[in-house]
Amino acid sequence: MLAEHGVERGLIGPREVDRLWERHVLNSAVIGERVGDGVRVVDVGSGAGLPGIPLAIARPDLSVTLVEPMARRVAWLDEVVETLALSSVTVLRGRAEEPSVRSRVAGADVVTARAVAPLAKLCGWCLPLLRTGGVLVALKGASAAEEIDRDRQAIGRLGGGAPRVESCGDAVLEVPTTVVVVERVKSAGGRDRSGRTRKDQDAHRG
């Protein structure tokens, strides 16, 4: 469907059609290697449905919510979900940072995002959607390590653990998919998994 209608509906550029399968579809599907069995996934800024729809097709055990603010893209996502009978996929119009969206999808096990925003900004939007111990899996390119170096402290303040670069699809892709994985270890207010703030921990040690 994306190859046939994606250009005319403004979802992909004309030059992407010939490389759609490997660069976009497989590139998205292989991140399932970093997703546990039967978990709840939220795909932020889903756009044309990448990576959420290929992931849902490759991993029917997952419950996937596609979050997208633009009406025409939401209409496309609804159409694809209905046509492909993806019963485990829900489309939600809105932005990840909106309270109404957060209330609907909070406590997710995994949040995915592809070409949405720089890493620190992405963590600010996505980490609040995760349960403690849940992970953000962000598809990134060659600049992943540089983004981590630049944004590491900001990610920590937002409640994220140490970000790491991982590779997906080494066995099936000529150029494997690079992802940055960030675990939510505490709230942005500073509480860790035990519920204690950093100030509480310092007082306890004293």
Binding residues for S-adenosyl-L-methionine: 45, 50, 96-97, 114
Rounded Cα gap, residues 174 and 127, in angstroms: 31
Could you tell me which residues are annotated as the binding site?
Answer: 45, 50, 96-97, 114
The DSSP output letter for 18 is T
For the chain, give me the number of helices (H) and strands (E)? 9, 7
Q: Where are the alpha helices (DSSP H) in 59-117?
A: 71-83, 99-105
Specify whether the CB–CB gap between 112 and 42 falls below 8 A.
Answer: yes
Rounded to 5 degrees, φ, ψ at 94 are: 150, 180
